[in-house]
Chains A and B, each alone.
Chain A
Amino acid sequence: MTLELFTQYLFAGITYGIIYAIVAIGFNIIYNTTGIINFAQGEFVMLGGMIAISLNGLVPLPVAITIAVILTMLIGGLIEIIFIRWLRSPSVLRLIIITIGLSILIREIALHIWGDTVRALPYFTGNVISSLNILGAHISPQVLWVIGVCSVMVVLLSLFFHFTSLGKEMQACASNRIAATLCGINAKNMVTFSFMLSAAIGALAGCVVSPITSSQYDMGTGLAIKGFTVAVLGGLGNSMAAVVAGILLGILEAFSIAIGFPLAFQDAISISILLVILFIRPNGLFGSAVSAGLKDF
């Protein structure tokens, strides 16, 4: 394999991978504060993209994206307040089923609002046919946008959890909810906030990726499955591990084509990995049974 081809596959893999990682981080944030998997996470990505596309004609692109992220964030918060907050000590299974129901609900509402047309945001720089030459590989500038925006997002999140008081409060709730409540932290608000945060990062990811992958009302399901695989692969609850796992899965998918594996079976790869991990290392590649007990963002 030539260097040129290698770089080409590598960039394709990193692009897929970092999107999976962002969805996985969304899973992790909610998992850490509530112990549940929010299967509507993929729908946040869809909503972000779709809202931005609708607004794009009316306001400049950066404004459209900002409004889309804020709106999705509010929707995320609202969902938590309406469907989850008032439940008294609900079982994990019940909560998970609520999120599955929500994902179907959001998808159907999106179908009614936007129809099933495939839409896309315009390319942030250049247009559909512009390409950059990096180490002999041809890359769309949008790929750099995706990688750049998502990397910045990951760094900011990490700073947020470790250096701001709100972030620390969320961490406190994650590691011991009762103790956090005793210290005067409003745990319920932290849960609402975790939904808003993961909705916002999902929405932003949905916007940057839209020019490449297009947006459609039902794009969330596939992303949720990939994101879940990555979250499990990295170890549920561990966001930095999710980034590594995401890029690993993306690169695996891209290079599977190089060795002649049909692209049509790409999803089979991630599902097989999910199964293998669940059987062999249920705590993820980077997790251990001990650290699984200690939740960290």
Chain B
Amino acid sequence: MKSFMKNVLAMLACSGLALTMLAGCSAPDETKKEEVKQAIKVGAILAETGGASFLGGPEARSMRMMVEQINAAGGVNGQPIELIIKDSAASPDKAISFAKQLIEEEQVLAILGPSTSGESMQLKSICEQAETILISCGAAEVIVNPVAKWVFKTPQTDSFAAMHIFAEMNKMGIDKIAVLSGNTGFGKAGRGQLQKIAPDFKITILEDEVYDKKSTDLSAVVAKINANKDVQAVINWSIVPAQAIVAKNMRQAGMTIPLFQSHGFGNVKYIEAAGEAAEGIIFPSGRLLAADILADDNVQKATLVKYIADYESKYAPEQASTFGGHGFDAIMILAKAIENAGSSDKAKVRDAIENLQGFPGTGGVFNFSATDHNGLAMDAFVMMTVKDGKFVLYHQ
């Protein structure tokens, strides 16, 4: 029995080798012939389940919806898009193996996602080596700085978010703050940006605490910050559920100083999770949350209103969030680039993304260049706050 299995395995291995060699020889001819009718394979690695599902879920749903719409309208350049979504559950290990599978077995044109910054950093070098386009939905600036030839990202950069927060503090006359952050890729990157940029705005970080991403109660840390009477405001840079917990614990401890959150706060679920404690939280966000109050001549307005209406009618009662918007931007940028390139050749599409100018997405107006693989400027953010359980513009 054992030797039989060994034989079978050996045969499998040999045939596998032979196949890959054959594929290696014949691939270039075949793709040229079949390009017209073949679907364009696009991979996506998103955290549909697990701790970052509030990112990956809306991203995956937005991408599925847009691919349906694109294919119903006849595809891109006459070719339909075949979207293969893999659920990484926010685990970098899974993201890596899925990326290898998508690149080697599925031979995808591009990988969209992953949802988190930590995973994106793992895939940066893999996609770079395999010369496969990666359009990340992670927020950290390190994903595109330093620029990697094949790596792009759609969410607004965390340094811009930090600058918006600090500029707001300057206006409010706040110069001594406490920083809380989660130990995720997003939290670490944000904390780094805050520390780096704070001196430019003459702001001193008095307390700097990092908590575990799975923390369920932060009252001890909040107590420590509360004990330091010089602290004038708190910035929390993390992902759910800690964002709601910080707010709750601060109010329970009787703290009244302003709480700033990162641009990761832009999902109405967090308001629900924090309840009354969410009132008055100030945070930078893309314009998606303010779509209905934008001026009619705003270039993003049409895109935003349509995306929100489509998403909310398809996935009701779920509300559209900025995170779903990152997924929307990723697939739409890719589709636009394929259209502009007039082909689904990896290198041509990559060049087309890099040359994309004035493309209105949900996160802002994208102007890519060889040195900027995010393409968003600082004005992609506006300051928002929570009032009566709803997101509203901070300055009105």
Binary interface encoding of chain B residues 51-72 relative to chain A, with 1 for a CB under 8 A from any of its CBs, else 0 = 1010000000000000000000
- A140 at interface by CB-CB < 8 Å: yes
- A179 at interface by CB-CB < 8 Å: no
- A164 at interface by CB-CB < 8 Å: no
A12 x B210 contact (CB < 8 A): no
State the total of A-B contacts with C-beta under 8 angstroms.
Answer: 100
A257 x B241 contact (CB < 8 A): no
* Complex: chain B residue closest to A258, CB-CB: B224
B216 x A128 contact (CB < 8 A): no
Query: Known: A128-B277, A129-B276, A264-B211. Is A8-B240 also a contact (CB below 8 A)?
Result: no
Number of interface residues of B (CB under 8 A): 36
B273 x A138 contact (CB < 8 A): no
- A151 at interface by CB-CB < 8 Å: no
A186 to B50, CA, bound (A): 43
B221 x A118 contact (CB < 8 A): no
Binary interface encoding of chain B residues 273-302 relative to chain A, with 1 for a CB under 8 A from any of its CBs, else 0 = 111110000000000000000000000000
- A120 at interface by CB-CB < 8 Å: yes
B220 x A129 contact (CB < 8 A): no
Binary interface encoding of chain A residues 107-136 relative to chain B, with 1 for a CB under 8 A from any of its CBs, else 0 = 000010000111010000001111101000
Binding site for B on A (CB under 8 A): 2, 4-5, 8-9, 11-13, 15-16, 111, 116-118, 120, 127-131, 133, 137-140, 212-214, 216, 218-219, 222, 253-254, 257-258, 262-267
**Set A4, A131, A212, A254: member contacting B216, Cβ < 8 A:** A212
B203-242 interface (Cβ within 8 A of A): 209-212, 214-221, 223-224, 226-227, 240-241
B221 x A138 contact (CB < 8 A): no
A212 to B273, CA, bound (A): 11
* Complex: chain B residue closest to A212, CB-CB: B217
B217 x A213 contact (CB < 8 A): yes
* Complex: chain B residue closest to A216, CB-CB: B241
B221 x A213 contact (CB < 8 A): no
A257 to B226, CA, bound (A): 13
A266 to B244, CA, bound (A): 20
**Set B215, B251, B276: member contacting A263, Cβ < 8 A:** B215
**Set B214, B217, B227: member contacting A12, Cβ < 8 A:** B217
27 contacts between A and B (CB under 8 A): A4-B227, A5-B224, A8-B220, A8-B226, A8-B253, A11-B219, A12-B219, A15-B219, A116-B49, A118-B240, A128-B248, A128-B276, A129-B251, A129-B275, A131-B251, A137-B223, A138-B252, A212-B216, A212-B217, A213-B217, A218-B50, A257-B220, A262-B210, A263-B212, A263-B220, A264-B183, A267-B212
| Chain B residues within an 8 Å CB radius of A4 | 227
Query: Known: A258-B224, A263-B215. Is A131-B269 also a contact (CB below 8 A)?
Result: no
| Chain A residues within an 8 Å CB radius of B254 | 131, 133, 138
| Chain B residues within an 8 Å CB radius of A12 | 217, 219-220, 223
| Chain B residues within an 8 Å CB radius of A257 | 209, 220-221, 224
Min C-beta distance of B218 to chain A, whole Å = 7
